Amino acid sequence: MGSYRNSKLGRFVLIGSILGAVISLFDRGTRQCLRDNMRTARDNSIKLFKTARQNPQQITDYFERTASNLRMTAQEVSQDIEEFANKVKNAKDSSTQAYHYAVEAGDEISQIAHKIRNTRENVMMIDSSPASVLPASTQTTGSQQTNMYLNDANHQNKSGANQTSQTSKMNKNK
């Protein structure tokens, strides 16, 4: 409190506002506007006092209506603020949910990519070493696989076609 009393800011603001008002009164239009506003304020206050003396119930009704209107407006504003807050909360929740959905989708995409990589690696292993991906009970040696391939080719060639000619045709197609 002591520093407030020693402060010069309040005094200078007051002095500045008084000087500003005096300087603005040098303008003829400003003086005329001020006179008109002062007359209107004086006339309206006289009417208010006359009405208050002659019909106090009218003044009371006016203030009650005004208070009621203010209350309703305050309630509407309060409801609007609550609705706005709910919309902001829902938007926040929606964006949070969207973020979580995006993260989950990213995880699923990375799992799919991992599965594709594993499948590609397994295919590459099959191409380089077919016996290594077969179950142990079905694994065969290289010569057994060759014999199985030849037997299968002979089985397909029962029509009497020569296997050598088919092999040469296959080499030409490559």
Q: Is residue 114 part of a domain?
A: no
Q: Is residue 19 part of a domain?
A: yes
Q: Is residue 172 part of a domain?
A: no
What's residue 63's pLDDT? 87
What's residue 16's pLDDT? 94
What's residue 150's pLDDT? 46
Mean pLDDT of 146-164: 46
Mean pLDDT of 17-34: 92
Residues 101-136: tens digit of each pLDDT: 888 888 888 888 888 888 777 766 665 554 544 445
What's residue 5's pLDDT? 66
For 53, list phi and psi in degrees, rounded to 5: -75, -40
Cβ-based neighbours of 148, under 8 Å, separated by 6 or more: 140
What's residue 169's pLDDT? 47
Is the Cβ–Cβ distance between 163 and 170 less than 8 Å?
no
Q: Is residue 110 part of a domain?
A: no
Mean pLDDT of 142-156: 48
| Nearest-angstrom CA–CA distance, 161 and 153 | 11
Q: Is residue 130 part of a domain?
A: no
Is the Cβ–Cβ distance between 59 and 51 less than 8 Å?
yes
Q: Is residue 81 part of a domain?
A: no
Q: Which domain holds residue 29?
A: 14-54
Q: Is residue 30 part of a domain?
A: yes
Q: Report the share of the chain in percent with pLDDT over 70.
A: 67
| Nearest-angstrom CA–CA distance, 156 and 170 | 15
| CA–centroid distance for 171 within its chain | 61
For 2-41, letters b (16+ CB in 10 Å) and e give eeeeeeeeeeeeeeeeeeeeeeeeeeeeeeeeeeeeeeee
* Amino acid present at 64: E
Position 41 pLDDT exceeds 90: yes
Mean pLDDT of 35-44: 95
Q: Is residue 1 part of a domain?
A: no
Looking at the structure of the chain, the number of domains it has is: 1
First to last CA, the chain: 101
Other C-beta atoms closer than 10 Å to the C-beta of 126 total: 13
